[in-house]
Structure 1
Amino acid sequence: MATKDILVVDDEVGIRELLSEILFDEGYRIHLAENASQARTFRENHTPDLVLLDIWMPDTDGLSLLKEWVAQERLTMPVIMMSGHGTIETAMEAMRIGASDFLEKPIALQKLLATVAKAIQQGVPTTVGSFQQETLSEKPEREKTDQIPLPLDLPLREAREHFDNLYFNYQMKKENGNISRIAEKAGIERTHLYRKLKQLGIKPLKKGSGETQ
């Protein structure tokens, strides 16, 4: 069996050395990174068989780095998150993003070896694909809304009308014309919303095009 490469990412030198010694004795080839920056550089040039990634690091935390790899389609290897201050919520979030497992420090020897072997055998979890699709589908929408030009040099009333027009046109498309959902999100009554749309010259979609009766 070919030697497996493991990248250990942890800002604590003692943890890096301990994990390195244990895993090296088990026949793994070990690579070390003391922060997210070094981990990024390594991942740009190599694809390890497994990553042991600490959550709490000074520059970029482990969850943020995990999300980066998902967004960049670089999470092609199983990642085991590690933390000495972990919570159930943190572990669940890591698994939702795409982590294979979660280890709480101090890490017991047999627990470490069993988790590593299992993660390498099973490979990248299927949740990575769903989170990646979620990330990619949300990104264009965020970019669109972030780049909306607001005419700040206009009188306040005209600028407000311009914003209202952009806002309600966006909501009409997003909610497929469902007046009830748009009114709930905007925090106004349906009758007031109808008057507002008429004032702005926005025509509600025809019945059956998204509005529930």
Structure 2
Amino acid sequence: MARILVVDDEIGIRELLSEILYDEGHTVELAENAAQARAARLRARPDLVLLDIWMPDTDGVSLLKEWSTQGLLDMPVIMMSGHATVDTAVEATRIGAVDFLEKPITLQKLLKTIAAGLARPMVTSPASSSFPVGSASKPVAAPQPGMQALTTTPMPEPEPAAQADGSRLGSISLDQPLREARDEFERIYFEYHLGRENHSMTRVSEKTGLERTHLYRKLKQLGIDSSRRRNASNQ
């Protein structure tokens, strides 16, 4: 998994992205302005940066240009904004951003863009590098054949207690009250999806069609431990 730096002056955006990325197994660093972003970049050496364009002290495009001219753009940077123009997005790409996300950011688009960004080998930009005005987009990431094909991480096998053959369903007694039988079925159902998705609440939410807050409440009601069980490689 990757170290990802999220730079955004809105606390709600930072917390939402942090929760999603953590759920995907990434290590997350947060910064609310350019000063914190500079410090976090030096301290954490992120594999990828999600950088908001509009910030109160130094805007994201200026920070991106600073990193580029100083030869510090050795990681993919994905710009984010809810108000940027096409010209701004093109300018950011010309400087060295690998992609652009428009707010509000959908979960699927976020994960696909991050996967594509992490798949790109980076070439450190020299301190004196600059691109002529009006030139075509020149991302710092080196081009790679078949770039559009997203790499995927193999999904873990379902836990033995939640195999897809439905063998556990036979253990539900049909002689008990409907509410108890329904709770038992829901417990098996959610344990199955938690095991299949390796306790990723983001994916379980998508699979079951429940909003995350409702999902957490339902699992607590059923007495199911929703904590993420990490593999040794992610610890």
Pairwise same-fold verdict (TM > 0.5): yes
1:81 aligns with 79
Instruction: Figure out how many residues of one structure are paired with residues of the other and give that number.
Output: 131
1:120 aligns with 118
Find the partner of 1:38 among 16, 27, 36. Answer: 36
Q: 2:110 & 2:79 partners in 1: Cα distance? A: 11
2:6 aligns with 8
Counterpart amino acid of residue 15 in structure 1: I
Structure 1 residue 86 displacement after superposition: 1.6
Q: How does 1:61-80 map to 2 (within 5 A)?
A: 61-80=59-78
Return the TM-score normalized by structure 2: 0.53
CA contact (8 A) 2:69 2:126 kept: no
Return the TM-score normalized by structure 1: 0.58
Deviations 1:156-185 (A, max 9, x none): xxxxxxxxxxxxxxxxxxxxxxxxxxxxxx
Structure 1 residue 71 displacement after superposition: 1.4
Q: 2:71 & 2:127 partners in 1: Cα distance? A: 11
Q: 2:91 & 2:128 partners in 1: Cα distance? A: 14
Q: How does 1:53-202 map to 2 (within 5 A)?
A: 53-124=51-122, 129=125, 132-134=128-130
Q: Percent identity?
A: 64
SS in structure 2 of the partner of residue 44 of structure 1: helix
CA contact (8 A) 1:5 1:31 kept: yes
Distance 1:131 1:74, change over 3 A: closer
Distance 1:132 1:94, change over 3 A: farther
Structure 1 residue 132 displacement after superposition: 4.8
Distance 1:55 1:98, change over 3 A: same
CA contact (8 A) 2:70 2:128 kept: no
Q: 1:95 & 1:130 partners in 2: Cα distance? A: 17
> Which structure would you say has the larger RCO, counting Cα contacts within 8 Å and 6 or more residues apart?
2
SS in structure 1 of the partner of residue 25 of structure 2: coil
Structure 1 residue 87 displacement after superposition: 1.4
Q: 1:87 & 1:56 partners in 2: Cα distance? A: 12
> Can you give the 5+ residue segments of structure 1 that lack an aligned partner in the other structure?
136-213
SS in structure 2 of the partner of residue 63 of structure 1: helix
Q: 1:106 & 1:52 partners in 2: Cα distance? A: 14
CA-based RMSD = 1.8
Distance 1:132 1:112, change over 3 A: farther
SS in structure 2 of the partner of residue 60 of structure 1: coil
Structure 1 residue 130 displacement after superposition: 8.2
Counterpart amino acid of residue 116 in structure 2: K
Structure 1 residue 44 displacement after superposition: 2.2
CA contact (8 A) 1:8 1:52 kept: yes
